[in-house]
Amino acid sequence: MYKQLIPVLLMTTLTTHAQEDPFLWLENVDGEKALEWVNQQNAATTNALTQQPEYQRIYEDTLKILNSKERIAYPGIRGNFAYNFWQDETYPRGVWRRTELNKYLAGKPEWEDLIDFSELSEQEGENWSFKGVEVLKPGFDICLVKLSRGGGDAVVVREFDINKKAFVEGGFKLPEAKTRVAWLNRNTLLVGTDFGERSMTDSGYPRIVKKWKRGILLKDAEVIYEGKKSDVSVGAYVQHTAGRKYVLISRGITFYETEYRALKGGKLIKLDLPKDAEVSGIFKNHLLVQPKKEWKVAGKTLSAGSLVALNYDQLLQGKHEVKILFQPSERESLGSVSSTENQVLVNVFKGGRYDELFSHTFENETWKKEQVKTPEHGTLSMISADDFSDRFFLTYESMLTPRTLYFSDAMHSELTKAKSLPAFFDAEKYRVEFQEAVSKDGTKIPYTVVLSKTAKLDGSNPTLLYGYGGFEISLQPHYSPVMGTCWLAEGGIYVVANIRGGGEFGPKWHQAAQKENKQRSYDDFIAVSEDLIQRGYCTHKTLGIQGGSNGGLLVGAVTMQRPDLYNAVVCAVPLLDMKRFNKLLAGASWMGEYGNPDLPEEWAYISKYSPYQNLSKDRKYPKIFFKTSTRDDRVHPGHARKMAAKMESYGQPFFYYENTEGGHGAGVTNEQRAMMDSLGYAYLLMMLK
């Protein structure tokens, strides 16, 4: 079940800060003056960085990798077909396609194109980007296609007949909004969207769920549930299993607090769960729940970050019949949770280094657990699991091991290799090292280093340190052909820091750097930076850092606090003005992570690290490279725009590039992604070599 986005207080009129902000005009996303400024900055940056000697080779190598026919076509299991979204030079905006599953497994797929989005964009005069589908189960013959203009989160929803390969004339259709939609049955949807006045939360997400029957006008559809305007979001979730259909309504109060209600017999029944608990799906009449804080229930004490199975029908009666499937130790955490018809597949992240996979079964009123035999010491990612059989696909990879796709078609069966990425770079030239830094408060912070086997620890190596540290998101080892080809091959060192705020060691690791403790994320990252220098991997002149979104805030904050440590900073789709983040787009939903800047007691700690407010005209900073997107409707491009403009007014050097498409990602087409990556690597090599 998707993790709910969540909270905010009422949006206010411009604050005194906003009125005094000389760069507020840059928050006007499509304003003529703002776009003129953006175009000037884009031209200056591309003129400088595309002239770097490495740029053209990096661009060509990156585009070749992104368009490679040898990439894995990741399959989604639906009935007897494998579905896939694919992009290359033939399909620049991508194609949604399918092939028979047995032919896919035999390595001889015969792809049937369902929607060519480049062709659709040309026909309709729109720059469509594919944002996924909701397929009706168990028939798998019709679906709801989500289309985004330019890659943003807001989508247009249209009903599509899969067998006819055509949109359904007079079928379900929803206008552009941050819509949540699910099939209740063939002729009924559960919809959360922009229904008009006061139907959205302050965070810009739906707060009303309606039951919309075919042939009825959307405005006349029955209201099933209505949340509060100050909530983050409200949405419906429908899970079809081989034995039963389940319907849940979620009310996201804050980013980390949710209420769940079951829809049964036309009535809503509130589930007696902690507000911090996250629902991970339903299996054999058991609700799978992850409490994020200690929970005492049914005579048991459940640790934060556990996974438990609760008898669904008993829960609807207010009773708790609990089975513990996983409880974390100090150095492990719960990863993904998936289910097939007869097993719950639980991914466990061990020591911040690698994954293990466990299968839980429920037969004859008894739960059993068995470890699934997988390749060792790498990252396991579930790609697709089938509710109507025991078929599933997962991938294995490590920092130097190309990703491999595995398949299983029965409980406890051996995994079968389905497809492997080629070795896009020579991994034999490199080694992986695991280190720990000691943060300001004495906490040990693990980090991973990838470097040449011949590298000398004399400080001369161009080193790129990556971090995130927020929202309980874990950074795990992964194989990056672009990083290997464009950075390691140039003599670079790549480092990933597992700082607090992430989820590498469970909810406590995240909560240790939340709200008033957010500075710990930055202390951890600074500690890793200093440790890299002390160990001789680099010096401050050869150390660069990179982060995006919350990671953009991370690198922005540490650069303001310790500009002496870094000589290059890639700050992508960042939050930077933390005084106004809750006024911009989805920003209000993140106050559960950062706090509310409108409250003086909370602004007191936010103000100490907010990059926009802490920029000084008198300090010397590295030449930061800001990257963002005009069509990012999650993190407002105004953050990066205003920070760059303020630096410009202070006479501080910087690079700035804003893609016109791409949403919160790097781009819509592979050409756009290749350009964004190549500008970044050309900048890093220019600054650090």
- Catalytic residue, from 286, 510, 639, 664: name it: 664
Q: What is the C-alpha to C-alpha distance for residues 520 and 3, in angstroms, rounded to an integer? A: 25
Is residue 478 within 8 Å of 566, Cβ to Cβ?
Answer: no
Active site residue 664: yes
The angle, 0 to 180 degrees and rounded to 10, between the axes of the packed helices 519-534 and 550-561 is 70
**Single pTM value for the model:** 0.94
pLDDT of 20? 85
Give the residue from 559, 594, 564 showing the smallest Cα distance to 579: 594
Active site residue 250: no
What is the sign of the dihedral through the CA atoms of 116, 122, 123 and 127? positive
**What pLDDT is attached to residue 192?**
98
User: Rounded distance, CA 13 to CA 523, Å?
Assistant: 34
> Distance (Å, rounded) from C-alpha 246 to C-alpha 68?
41
Q: Rounded CA gap, 478 and 474, in Å? A: 12
Cis, bond preceding 138 (omega within 30 deg of 0): yes
Catalytic residue among 121, 233, 549, 629: 549
For residue 374, which amino acid is it? Answer: T
276 is written with which tokens? 């911090």
pLDDT of residue 472: 96
Which structure tokens are listed for 242? 């081989």
Quote the CA–CA distance of 552 and 573 in Å, as a whole number. Answer: 6
If you compute the radius of gyration of the chain from its CA atoms, what whole number of angstroms results? Answer: 25
- Nearest CA to 562 among 533, 605, 591, 597? 533
Going edge to edge, which strands form the sheet with 245-254? 233-240, 245-254, 257-264, 267-270
Q: Do the beta carbons of residue 629 and residue 661 sit within 8 Å? A: yes
Q: Are 290 and 305 in contact (CB under 8 A)?
A: yes
Neighbours of 303 (CB within 10 A): 17
Spatial distance between the Cα atoms of 427 and 434, rounded to a whole number of angstroms? 17
Picking from 400, 428, 403, 427, the residue whose alpha carbon sits closest to that of residue 417 is 403
Residue-level pLDDT at 662 = 82
Distance CA 450, CA 497 (A): 12
Residue 143 φ/ψ, nearest 5 degrees = -155, 170
Angle at 63 between CA 61 and CA 69, to 5 degrees: 100
Residue 201: CA atoms inside 13 Å, Cβ hemisphere, count? 33
Output the pLDDT for position 382: 97
d(Cα 43, Cα 51) in Å, to the nearest integer?
A: 12
Cβ atoms within 10 Å, residue 670: 22
Query: What's the one-letter identity of residue 608?
Result: K
Reference 97, options 88, 68, 387; nearest CA is 88
* DSSP single-letter state for residue 533: H
**Parallel, antiparallel or unpaired: strands 404-408 and 430-438:** unpaired
C-alpha to C-alpha distances, 447 to 219, 473, 528, nearest whole angstrom: 53, 15, 7
Mean pLDDT by 10 residues, the chain (689 residues): 31 44 97 98 98 97 97 97 97 97 97 98 96 97 96 96 98 97 98 95 97 97 97 96 93 97 95 97 97 95 97 97 94 94 96 92 96 95 96 98 96 90 96 97 97 97 98 96 97 98 95 98 98 98 98 98 98 98 97 98 98 97 97 96 98 96 86 96 97
- The confidence score (pLDDT) of residue 426 equals 97
* C-alpha to C-alpha distance for 250 and 245, rounded to whole angstroms: 17
Q: Are 62 and 678 in contact (CB under 8 A)?
A: yes
Q: Are strands 463-466 and 493-497 parallel, antiparallel or unpaired?
A: parallel
